[in-house]
Structure 1
């Protein structure tokens, strides 16, 4: 099992690298581009940028919780309350990302309309729905794990 979790840890790390690069190099340019496209709304440049950075922080928090969950699996503590808490935190991070993108979707729509780029709206919608799917999946796994822990503790008490 160590090989599989090591592979997953490497994949999680590799998922974080492009997001880190985008947040350093591309996000400030996107906010600047938004201010240039909509001069009347240029005062929203920094709140938009802050919102995008909050989503990046939530993404990295979810990746960290995923790494913690994988380390619990390595230590044979997969069926513990710590794993349930990690799944709960992943769920909250995904909900945060979805909510922030829903809030900023009108700004993305304005940017896409001025620049005539409907793909931006599609990207925003994919992020929203992807985060919702991850949140629901984490919630289902959290409930299943909690039920498995309860059944295990009942069996331990009867034996």
Structure 2
């Protein structure tokens, strides 16, 4: 594979990570500061939502790091190795953790929707669940395919 395509993907990973970092550093503290000025039931709910979002940022960046490592393995022509399988497995686990955090967060979305009388908020909460769930399934599929390709490659290497 050409180095330019993996360089583009590395750049894309950085571009994906920057908005989340900006939200975690600039936007969420601003929201927390405004919410904490008048703590009520509504505001405690918002702090709970933001806490889960902060917690989800940790496995998000860990998964981005594993994706970056996977691209490095591709650059080194070691894409069909156990290291790549481990990186995909870690991406899968991090995406599962994010999915679990947002599943735990879904009741807060429901309470928020009831308080604000906006049922569409629940759909937004579900979108937060389904995005990492799709990544989990895709990473699991790629992991199985890569394991099978490694198995076939080792069999072919042993064949004269």
Same fold? TM cut 0.5: yes
* Residues in 1 aligned to 2:126 and 2:36: alpha-carbon distance in whole angstroms: 22
Please tell me whether the aligned partners of residues 88 and 142 of structure 1 are also in contact (alpha carbons under 8 angstroms). Answer: yes
- Cα pair distance change 1:117/1:17, threshold 3 Å: farther
Equivalenced residue count is 159
Q: What TM-score comes out, normalization by structure 2 length?
A: 0.86
* Residues in 2 aligned to 1:81 and 1:22: alpha-carbon distance in whole angstroms: 35
Q: After superposition, what is the alpha-carbon deviation per residue over 1:81-112, rounded to whole angstroms, capped at 9, x for unaligned?
A: 00000100110111111110010111122123
* Residues in 2 aligned to 1:90 and 1:114: alpha-carbon distance in whole angstroms: 36
Equivalent positions of 1:36-55 (< 5 A) are: 39-40=40-41, 48-55=49-56
**Partner secondary structure for residue 87 of structure 2:** helix
In structure 2, stretches of 5+ residues that fail to align are: none
Please tell me whether the aligned partners of residues 72 and 78 of structure 1 are also in contact (alpha carbons under 8 angstroms). Answer: yes
* Residues in 1 aligned to 2:68 and 2:8: alpha-carbon distance in whole angstroms: 11
Matched, 1:68 2:69: yes
Equivalent positions of 1:99-118 (< 5 A) are: 99-118=100-119
* Residues in 1 aligned to 2:30 and 2:117: alpha-carbon distance in whole angstroms: 18
Quote the residue 1:17 is aligned against: 18
Equivalent positions of 1:134-153 (< 5 A) are: 134-153=135-154
Quote the residue 2:158 is aligned against: 157
